[in-house]
Amino acid sequence: MGTIEITKLGSAVLRKKSRSVGDERERICALLDKMAKVMYANKGVGLAAPQVGVDERVIIFDAGDGLVEIINPEIEHAEGSARSSEGCLSIPGAAVDVARAASIAVKGLNRDFEPVKFSLGGLPARIVQHELDHLNGVLIIDYLSFLKRKVFEKKWRKSSR
Ligand code: CO
């Protein structure tokens, strides 16, 4: 298993707005398991369902304190601003400075479809905002200036990924 399982820039599913998930525990648990496997195999700290080709609102992350799974995540509250460089498993080689809220409260459902809520700061807050972007078809290169983005896309097309 390698990066081959990750949907890469250029794939339509990465630009779609993902659908909310209904209560289909068995299917969603299988999806969550697959996502964790793919994330850890690729040494990622977060993953969104579109990155395994599924346009549904499911994200996972592990900022070093264990795996967190959130179904239908929604940011309830956001505060402050912090800028930092981000990468993305779907765009190997890209590193983009992105301004995010410094701290957030995010709610959603766990794998048992019970409501969960997390107050996050630092890296976990950044990861969740990055993964939520994926659910809305937004990628880190969208934060580049027009010119920088064009340069990156040209380079990307040239490389045979
Ligand atoms: Co990403």
- CA torsion angle for 5, 16, 90, 27 (degrees, to 10)? -30
Q: Residues 111-121: pLDDT tens digits?
A: 999 999 999 99
For 53-104, what is each residue's pLDDT tens digit? 999 999 999 999 999 999 999 999 999 999 999 999 999 989 999 999 999 9
Beta bridge partners of 78: 104
Strands 115-121 and 68-79: unpaired
Tell how far the Cα of 82 is from the centroid of ligand 1, in angstroms: 18
pLDDT for 23: 84
| Residues that are catalytic | 131
In the chain, the largest separation of any two C-alpha atoms, in whole Å, equals 46
The two three-digit tokens of residue 7, written as one number? 């949907």
3-state secondary structure 23-39: CCHHHHHHHHHHHHHHH
Using only C-alpha atoms, the chain has a radius of gyration, in whole angstroms, of: 15
pTM given for the model: 0.94
**Residue 161 clears pLDDT 80, i.e. is over it:** no
Protein residues within 5 Å, CB atom, of ion ligand 1 = 88
At 2 the pLDDT is 47
Distance CA 75, CA 44 (A): 22
For 21-62, the pLDDT digits (tens) are: 998 999 999 999 999 999 999 999 999 999 999 999 999 999
Residue 8 Cα, ligand 1 centroid: separation in angstroms? 10
Distance 93 CA to ligand 1 centre (A): 12
Q: How many angstroms does the Cα of residue 24 sit away from the middle of ligand 1?
A: 25
DSSP 21: P
CA of 17 to the centre of ligand 1 (A): 14
Q: Using the predicted structure, report yes or no on whether residue 7 has a pLDDT greater than 70.
A: yes
